[in-house]
Chain A
C-alpha cells in the first residue's frame, strides 16, 4: 500500500509513462496496424451530458463500513447480477486480525446476508469490513488484454464492457488482479461493476452508494473541487489496492492497512 494521492506525480513519472507507452505501442507498431479501434464512448450525447467533463471515482471509508452487505445486495438487484454466490460486481470482505498478526478473511455470499458472529476469542486483535468492486483502473490490464476491444475505458473514466462485442475469452478476468470480473453465466460475456453507468448519466449515484446506511461509500469526480470525493481524498490517509502493479486504481480506501489486498 502506498499513500499516494491521485494527483501526485513522482518526478520519474514522465519517463516511466513514456517507456510504458512505448512498450504498449511497440507490438502494434511492429505489426503495422493502423487499425486501432476508435473510442466507443461515441459522439456527444443528447441531453447535455458531456463525458469529457467527468472523471468518476469512488472512495470507501473502512471505519464506517458495518458489513451489512446492503451495497452488494443493491448491486445485484440494480444490475441483474445472478444471485448465485459466485458472481459479484461488488462484495464485502471481513478481515479478522489475530494477535499473531495474521489476517483471516471471509466473505460468505459476498456479505449480502451479513456475517456470522465471531467466536468469543481473546486472540482477536481487530476486525473490519472492506467493500470491494472494480477499481476502474486508469491503466487497466483488463482493457489492455481484451483482444477485440470489448473492454474499454470510457471518456468519463469508467471501465466498461461492450456486451455485443465480447467474445467471452476471459482473458480480462485473468488479467484483473482484483478478482473484480466474472463471466455472466447466461450471456457468456465478461461482466463487472460499471459504477452504475446507466444511473450516472441520469445524474444519479451508483446503487451501492445510495443504499449505504453509514455513507461508507463516497462517489465523486476527480479534479472537481465541489465533489464529495475531493474532501474525502483531502482529509483521509488514502490507500489503493495492489499499487505496485501500477494499474492506478480509482477506488480509494481510507483506513485500510497492509493486510487488505
Chain B
C-alpha cells in the first residue's frame, strides 16, 4: 500500500488494507485449531500401534496397548471442540440424520463413527478380551460387574478362542491403517477443498495433515510412555524409546519435505494471492510460523533427535533429550494447526488486507475453554488406563509371548542394557 489516502485504511481497528465488512471477525476460532490437532494425535498414535501389530516391530511392544488407549482417549475428546464451536450444537445430530452428501463436513460423523466403533473399540476389545474375562472373575466389588459387561458375554478363553482374538486383532489393524489415514487425511480435505481460500486450497493438504499427524502421534506416545513410567516407578525400555525416537525423526523428515514442497510450489506458481500471503507470513504469522513452527517445533527437535539418537550419550541423558524433543514437536504441531486454521482467516478474500485474531480468555470460544478441552483427553486417558491397564506386567506376559522382561526398579538405577 502506498501512503496515499491514509484515511481509507483507518476504518476498522486491527485491520490493515481492505477486508470485506463481514470478515471482521474470524469465523473459526481456537476450537477449530484443537480439532485437527486432536484428530492428528489419534491417527498418529494408532498408526504407531499398528506398526507393532502388522509389521511385527517387536521392540515397540511395551507401548502397543498404551498407544491404542491413548488414541481412544483423544478420539473421544476430538469432536468436543467442534461441538463447542457450533452455533446450534443441539442440531448436530442432523449431520447424521440428513447429511448433505456433497459436504466434506457431513462425512465427519461417518468417518468418526467408523473409526471409533469399528476400528478402535473393536481392536481394543479383542486385544483385551482375555484380560477382561480374567478381571471379571478375579476383581471384587462394582468393578467386577463393569468387566462382566465389558466381556459382552464372551467368556471363552480357551487357546482356540485366544488365537481367534489375535487373528481378529490383526485383521482390524490392517483395516485400521487406511482408516487412520482416512480420518486425518479427511480433516485435511475439509480445509484443502475450500477453493475460495488460497492458503488452504491445495491438494497436498490432506497428505501434509497426515504426516504431521503421524509425527504428533509418535511424539505423544513417547511422552505418555516416559511420564507414565516415571510415575509408576517402572523401567523404561530403552530399545523401545530409541525406536520411537527414530520413527519420530523419519516421520518428521518426510513431513518437513512435504511442507517444503508445498511452500515451493506456491512460490513457483506465484498466483495472485502470493503477495498478500507473503505479507501475512512476514508480519502476522512470523512468530507462529517461522519461529514456533519451523525453528522451535521442527528444526530444533530434528537436531536434538539426531544428536540424541546417534551421539554417544548415557541413557538418562538420551531419554531427557528425547523427552524435550517430543515436547517441542507438540508445540510445533500445534503451531502448524494454528497457522493453517487461523492463518487462513487472517487475510481478506479480497486479497487486499489483513485482519487480526482476538482471542478472548473466558467465554465458550476462549482460551480457558480451549485449555480445558485440551486437558480432557488426558483425563480420559487416565480413566481408561485405570480400567484397561496398558502396562506390561512381568509376571503376566502379554499373549503374543515375545516380551522383554521388565524389572521393577527405580528410574535412577538403570542397568546400561540400553541401545539397539
Report which residue of B18, B106, B348 has the largest number of chain A beta carbons within 10 angstroms of its beta carbon: B106
CB of B382 within 8 A of chain A?
Answer: no
**CB closest chain-B residue, reference A95:** B18
Q: Is A180 on the interface with B (CB-CB < 8 A)?
A: yes
Q: CB-defined interface of B285-313 with A at 8 Å, one 1/0 digit per residue? A: 00000000000000000000000000000
A77 within 8 A of B: no
Inter-subunit contact B21/A28 (CB<8 Å): no
**A157-210 CB contacts (< 8 Å) to partner B:** 165-171, 173-183, 187-189
Cα-based distance from A220 to B195 in the complex (angstroms): 29
B92, A88: Cβ atoms under 8 Å?
no
Cβ-defined contact, B5 with A121, below 8 A: yes
**Cα distance A188–B365 when bound, in Å?**
14
* B394 contacts the other chain (CB 8 A): no
* Given contacts A105-B352, A177-B196, A179-B349, A168 and B87 within 8 Å (CB-CB): yes
Chain A contacts of B7 at CB under 8 A? Answer: 116, 119
- Please determine whether B86 and A174 come into contact, CB atoms closer than 8 angstroms: no
For window 213-251 of chain B, which residues contact chain A by CB distance below 8 Å? none
CB–CB A144/B103 < 8 A: yes
In angstroms, Cα B7 to Cα A24, docked, is 45
A36 proximal to B (CB < 8 A) = yes
A41-49, A106-114, A228-236 - the one binding chain B: A106-114
Q: What are the residues of chain A within 8 A of B28 when measuring CB–CB?
A: 170, 174
Q: Which residue of the partner chain B has the closest CB to A86? A: B24
**Chain B residues whose C-beta falls within 8 Å of the C-beta of A36 in the assembled complex:** 101
User: At the interface, yes or no: A253 with Cβ under 8 Å from chain B?
Assistant: no
Contacts of A116 in B (CB 8 A): 7
Is A102 part of the contact surface with B, judged by Cβ < 8 Å? yes
The CA of A177 and the CA of B105, in the complex, are separated in Å by: 18
- State whether A85 and B21 are in contact (beta carbons under 8 Å apart), knowing that A104-B1, A148-B94, A167-B91 are contacts in the complex: yes
Q: How far is the CA of A187 from the CA of B88 in the complex (A)?
A: 9
Question: Taking the complex as formed, is A14 at the interface, i.e. its CB lies under 8 A from any CB of chain B?
Answer: no
B269 to chain A, nearest CB (A): 14
CB of A12 within 8 Å of the partner chain: no
Q: How far is the CA of A94 from the CA of B22 in the complex (A)?
A: 16
**Distance in Å from the Cβ of A249 to the closest Cβ of chain B?**
12
Judge whether A245 is part of the interface by a CB distance below 8 angstroms.
Answer: yes
In the assembled complex, the Cα of A28 lies from the Cα of B20 at a distance in Å of 34
A148/B11 contact (C-beta < 8 A), A107-B21, A177-B349 known: no
Interface string of B343-372 (1 = CB under 8 A from A): 001001111100000000000000000000
- C-alpha spacing A181/B94, complex, angstroms: 22
On whether the beta carbons of A179 and B20 are closer than 8 Å, the reply is: yes
Q: A33 touching B101 by the CB < 8 A rule? A: yes
Do A35 and B349 have beta carbons less than 8 Å apart? no
Q: Is there a chain A Cβ closer than 8 Å to B107's Cβ?
A: yes
Is B195's CB under 8 angstroms from A118's CB? no
Q: A-facing mask of B321-350, CB < 8 A → 1, else 0?
A: 000000000000000000000000100111
B22 adjacent to A169 (CB under 8 Å): no
Known contacts: A166-B88, A245-B195. The answer to whether A119 contacts B5 by CB under 8 A is yes
A173 to B349, CA, bound (A): 11
- Distance between Cα atoms of A105 and B12 in the complex (Å): 13
Among candidates B11, B87, B101, B107, residue contacting A166 with C-beta atoms closer than 8 Å: B87
| Contact, CB under 8 Å: B11 / A108 | yes
**B interface residue count range (under 10 / 10 to 19 / 20 to 34 / 35 or more):** 35 or more
The verdict on B56 contacting chain A, using a C-beta distance below 8 Å, is: no
**Shortest beta-carbon distance, B76 to chain A, in Å?**
20
Q: Is B99 an interface residue (CB 8 A)?
A: yes
When distances are taken between beta carbons in the complex, the residues of chain B under 8 Å from A180 are 22
CA distance A168 to B28 in the complex (A): 11
Q: Say whether, besides A188-B87, A245-B195, A171 and B103 are in contact (CB < 8 Å).
A: yes
A91 at the A/B interface (Cβ < 8 Å)?
yes
Contact with B22, one of A143, A177, A182 (Cβ below 8 angstroms)? A182
A88 proximity list for chain B (CB < 8 A): 21-22
Contacts of B106 in A (CB 8 A): 147-148
Check: B25 CB closer than 8 A to any chain A CB.
Answer: yes
What distance in Å separates the Cβ of B390 from its nearest Cβ neighbour in chain A? 33
Q: 1/0 contact trace for A70-93 toward B, CB 8 Å? A: 000000000000000111100101
Q: Are A149 and B100 in contact (CB under 8 A)?
A: yes
Cβ < 8 Å to A, chain B residues 4-22: 4-5, 7-9, 11-12, 18-22
Cα–Cα, bound, A193→B4 (Å) = 33
B350: which of A25, A119, A179 is its contact (CB, 8 Å)? Answer: A179
Q: Which residues of B contact A121 (CB under 8 A)?
A: 4-5
Chain B, Cβ-Cβ closest to A168: B87
When distances are taken between beta carbons in the complex, the residues of chain A under 8 Å from B87 are 166-170, 183, 187-189
Interface centre among B2, B20, B28 (most CB of A within 10 A): B20
B378 CB–A CB distance under 8 Å: no
Q: Do A175 and B105 form a contact, CB below 8 Å, given A167-B87, A170-B28?
A: no
A133-B350 Cα distance, complex, nearest whole Å: 14
9 residue pairs from A and B, CB less than 8 Å apart: A33-B99, A35-B101, A100-B2, A147-B103, A166-B88, A167-B94, A173-B22, A175-B196, A188-B87
Binding site for B on A (CB under 8 A): 24-25, 27-28, 31, 33, 35-37, 85-88, 91, 93-94, 96, 98, 100, 102-108, 110, 116, 118-119, 121, 123, 132, 141, 143-149, 165-171, 173-183, 187-189, 245, 261
Known: A107-B11, A119-B5, A167-B91. 12 other contacts (CB 8 A): A27-B104, A96-B5, A106-B9, A106-B11, A145-B103, A147-B95, A147-B105, A147-B108, A170-B27, A174-B28, A174-B197, A175-B196
- Shortest beta-carbon contacts, A-B, top 7: A168-B87, A179-B20, A188-B87, A177-B196, A28-B101, A147-B106, A149-B100
